[in-house]
Amino acid sequence: MAKFISKTDLLAWLEGLMKERTLAAPIKEEGVTRFAPVKKVADIVMDPGATDFSPKDWFFPPSETLFTVSKADGKTVITPRTMEKEAILFGLHPCDGLGVALMDLPFLAEPADASYAEKREKTTLVGLACRQSRPECFCTSLGSNPFDATYLDVLLIEAGGGYIVQSKTEKGQKLLASAKLTESNVETPAPPAVNTVPVEGLVAIAPHVFNDAFWTRLADRCIHCNMCAFVCPACYCFDIRDYVGKGGVVERVRSWESCQAAGFTKIAGGYTPRPTKAARLRQRFYHKFLYMPKQLGSIGCTGCGRCVRVCPVNIDIREIITTMQKIGAKVAVGAP
Amino acid sequence: MTMDLGQIIKEKAHELLASKKVECVLGYERATDGKTARPLFAYTPEETERFIFDETCVHGLAKFLLNWKDKSTAIVAKPCDVRSVNLLLQEKQLNRDKVFIMGVVCPGVAECSWDRVGPPQQRCNACPQHNPPVYDFLVGEPVPEKEPQNGVDPEVARIKAMTAAERRAFWNQQFDRCVRCYACRQACPGCYCTECFVDQVDPTWVGIRHSPADNHMWNTVRGFHLAGRCTQCGECQRVCPVNIPLMLVNDELTQEVGDKFAFQPGMDPSTLPPFATFKKDEHLGIG
Amino acid sequence: MPSARRSPFIPHTARLKESIDLTPDVKLFRMELEDEAVRKEFQYKPGQFAFVSAFGVGESPFGLASVAYQNDAVEVAVRRVGTVTAALHELEPGAIVGVRGPFGNYFPLEEYKGKNICIIGGGIGMAPLRPVIRTILDNRSNYGKLTVVIGSRSPADLVFASEYEGWGSQPDTRVELTVDRGDANWKGRVALIPAVVKEIHLSPENSVAIICGPPIMIRFVLVELKALGFAPHQIVTTLEAKMKCGLGKCARCNVGDKYVCQDGPVFSMDQIAGFLEQF
């Protein structure tokens, strides 16, 4: 027997939750599906296929005010931005759950990013299992799978005209208290098959591929926009700048930034340790495949395939992994 | 398509590399989805086997010529891409001696995105230029050109008919989605400043914040910098991850420049764009 | 349930006690942290850095130019090069700035006890070296010979010039000055720093060389030190990198698998040689 919720009851449950909490879910605007606060549940894209942008939008938004600085009675007062209501992030796929877990690594490492930590504490993750995989998906190669509930508070698996409901966390259980769940003997469907990519051993061979001409050739066609980084659930680089608003109130604002930008590492005076396009392109993959594993304990990729989909010149992370493995294997047997 | 354009490109590219006439041939190969195309830089005759040409070859390759300026490069260029090459020649960004133009007689290209080949592109339907205006080698048989469609583009007309407030509201809604990835700039053959105004910090012209004011600043100034220079290749709009109708900005300005100066950018490599010239006796009806 | 965590991005407020012109474009900022408890906690060692905010313009990282044990003012030397530094230069005493830190590692002076120390600083690069010199002079008997080579573009650009005489008058201590271009009053050496390093023939024996300055100066000083017989582990420098957080989070200063803000900024040349990515 499994816990079950009908499609109508699911929407009713979400609608009820919206009264007290912010509900963020996949919403489509002008053909682009992103996680955004929901105005009415009918707007939610119930089968998001993989949103164009990742759920990091919620925890680490494109732009956010970290704190404000104002003057009161001659004193300088710094006020951090805080989150008013608890929230539900709905409709993320299992790989996106892994994405959130990866985002936790830098942001929750001590000293934790307070604004991120607060959002994580106050947000419950309600995921949707994948009905289908897409050709660019490779989540199973990175330890997740289409029905993986590991990094979610609630997982819904579509079956028998509704959803099988799974929850192992306290947060999830608490949220489900208001859901109209029934006991059902509907069978759990088989998860969809997912393409695989040879990730195993990548961290070990990565240092040997660093100076290969492959990166220069790949950078030939890279246009060095920031899209791969912006849609990535695990890319977390940022910039911080000040804004002065009405009444002289200063806002310190954090915005997405990416290692692909030429100015990313340029210091005042003009020096940059990464002056070539190839060095910048390589940085993105080395950060994911070598530096993150060494510093934070995990490869910085979920296999969601968003970067593959969004790239206008087909820089394909799967092809890069495969090529790195091939080059690495040659180095390992001592070939030139 | 009656001729196999891909085969012609392969053979010519092979010859150019084998004879060392060029160091690199820039064209298209099949992407990893098995359906669409991606740019290919071939450095050896062997690599030319990978070249293709069909309706999925949407990318404008002219911008890639700026990867280097000292290397002789052959480029597979559709007529709109040739216009972009011309723009770069006009503006002294390229050395004509170093560029070998393999101009393709263009049958029009399709709406392509990852794993999907869609219907023919709108811009190709209206395009009056199917034969490359300049080339060193012609890929395909010349076709008679359609009569250029006179009059205002219906989308541009729609925008122009709006009140200022309506237009502001329309663009605010579009630009609000901008995530400032600058893919539009990166893909644009006309955007090649060593340091873009948006990246300058001293002084800071545009903030990093994804806010209506900053987004508007970026998107409108980007458009203005291309006034009279945009070759209408459509790359900015194609690469935009949030589907902002950027070509509408460009088209409106192209129309303005066309009306005022009877100029179409990139049609030949020698005529400078209006804003790169100055005539003392010129009266624009302003000031 | 309000989060009790303090955001590591929130700076401590500090009052600008004094801003002293060191050169035409460098000022020394003496700042006093407003909160007394914070003042006590704000302990740091030579080589560490902090972010200083000009609220409304932004914040930038600066090497700490003071020694924590000597006074209650936190000092940084600020060269006017960008928007934040220009805004800081405009501030009058009494102004409120933000201070976040200290961050990074430090020069391992404990390990250098008993050794001869050669300090080579170019321009504003003297700022993080000043607390090294002070610490050594305050504990003079713990160290061997101290040689300080200081260079700048012109005599007017010598940072901390008023302190050189005091340093040079200490036992077993010599200060060697040089400028790229002299002026009417300059009677001293006109030479590039690497040439001085060669000229004074620094001995590598039982020595450590600490270098800080522009990348080009460091590169050529390294050539000379190598020629004199200094091994990579005997040469220590601080790396300057773009930084926004100091917390290993923004990933800007990531070079190879190192974060300059956390693993550095102080590195020995043998460490740098082992970097995957060349700096």
Closest A-chain CA to C250 = A237
Chain mean pLDDT for chain B: 91
Question: Average pLDDT, stretch B71-99?
Answer: 94
What is the C-alpha to C-alpha distance for residues C124 and A313, in angstroms, rounded to an integer? 44
CA separation, residue B89 to residues A311, B76, B83, B168 (Å): 28, 16, 10, 36
Q: What is the mean pLDDT of residues C17-35?
A: 95
Strand locations in chain C, DSSP E? 12-23, 26-33, 49-54, 58-63, 74-79, 96-103, 116-122, 146-152, 173-179, 207-212, 235-238, 254-255, 258-259, 266-268
Interface ipTM > 0.85: yes
CATH code of the domain occupying C12-103? 2.40.30.10
In 3D space, the residue among B127, B2, B114, B115 whose CA is nearest the CA of residue B54 turns out to be B2
Residue of B nearest to C80 (CA): B202
Pairs of CB atoms within 8 A across B/C: 7
Residues for chain B: how many in total?
Answer: 287
> What band does C1 get if pLDDT is binned at 50, 70 and 90?
very low
* pLDDT-wise least confident of A61-75, A208-222, B264-278: B264-278
CB C231 within 8 A of CB C224: no
Q: How high is the pLDDT of residue A182? A: 95
Q: What pLDDT does A262 receive? A: 83
Residue A334 has pLDDT above 60, yes or no: no
* pLDDT higher than threshold 60 for residue A229: yes
Mean pLDDT, rounded, for A160-169: 94
Beta bridge partners of A67: A80, A252
Predicted local confidence at residue B204, as pLDDT: 85
The stretch B108-118 carries a mean pLDDT of 95
Report the residue of B242, B244, B246 to disrupt the A interface, i.e. the one with the largest count of A CBs within 10 Å.
B242
User: Is pLDDT of B152 > 60?
Assistant: yes
From residue B41, alpha-carbon distances to A218, B68, B192, C217 in Å are 9, 12, 20, 39
* C174: nearest Cα among C146, C204, C134: C146
CA distance A32 to C253: 33
C210 touches C238 (CB < 8 A): no
Residue C3 has a pLDDT of: 46
- The Cα–Cα gap between B167 and B250 comes to 15
Q: What is the pLDDT of residue C4?
A: 62
Give pLDDT, residue B84: 95
Q: Is the pLDDT of residue C253 over 90?
A: no
A259/C56 Cβ within 8 A:
no
B149 pLDDT higher than 70? no
Instruction: Name every chain A residue with its beta carbon within 8 A of the beta carbon of B59.
Output: 312-313
Residue A302, classified by CB atoms within 10 Å of its CB into exposed (0-12), middle (13-18) or buried (19+), is buried
What pLDDT, on the 0 to 100 scale, is given for residue B2?
58
Please count the residue pairs, one from chain A and one from chain B, whose beta carbons lie less than 8 angstroms apart. 110
Print the SS3 string covering A3-48.
Answer: EEEEHHHHHHHHHHHHCCCEEEEEEEECCEEEEEECCCHHHECCCC
Domain boundaries, chain C: 12-103, 116-238
The 10s digit of each residue's pLDDT in A252-300 is: 999 999 988 888 888 777 778 888 999 999 999 999 999 999 999 999 9
Q: Which residues pair with C243 in a beta bridge?
A: none
Rounded to whole angstroms, the Cα distance separating C77 from A25 reads 49
Confidence of residue C250 (pLDDT cuts 50, 70, 90): confident
> Which pLDDT score is estimated for A336?
45
Residue C16 contacts residue C97 (beta carbons within 8 Å): yes
8 Å CB contact of A106 and C248: yes
pLDDT exceeds cutoff 90 at B147: no
For chain B, the domains span 5-139, 154-276
Type of residue at A153:
D
pLDDT attached to residue B1: 46
Task: Please provide the CATH number assigned to the domain covering C116-238.
Answer: 3.40.50.80
Is C82 in CB contact (< 8 Å) with chain B? yes
CA A257 to chain C, closest CA, distance in angstroms equals: 9
Share of chain C above pLDDT 70, in %: 98
- pLDDT tens digits, one per residue of C151-183: 999 999 999 999 999 999 999 999 999 999 999
Question: pLDDT digit string (tens) for A108-138?
Answer: 999 999 999 999 999 999 999 999 999 999 9
Position A333 scores a pLDDT of 61
A313 CB within 8 Å of a chain B CB: yes
Q: Which of A191-195, A196-200, B115-119, B193-197 has the lowest mean pLDDT?
A: B193-197
Any C CB within 8 A of A118 CB: yes
Residue A181: pLDDT band with limits 50, 70, 90: very high
Q: Which of C74-107 are b and which e, b meaning 16 or more Cβ less than 10 Å from the residue's Cβ?
A: bbbbbbbbbbbbebbbebeeebbbbbbbbbbbbb
Cis peptide before C11 (omega within 30 of 0): no
Q: For residue range A56-101, what is the model confidence (pLDDT) as tens digits?
A: 999 999 999 999 999 988 899 999 999 889 999 999 999 999 999 9
Chains adjacent to C (≥3 CB pairs closer than 8 angstroms): A, B
Q: Measured between CB atoms, does C206 come within 8 Å of chain B? A: no
Residue C242 near chain B (CB below 8 Å): no
Q: Are the C-beta atoms of residues C130 and C158 closer than 8 Å to each other?
A: no
Q: Which residue of A has its CA nearest to B183?
A: A225
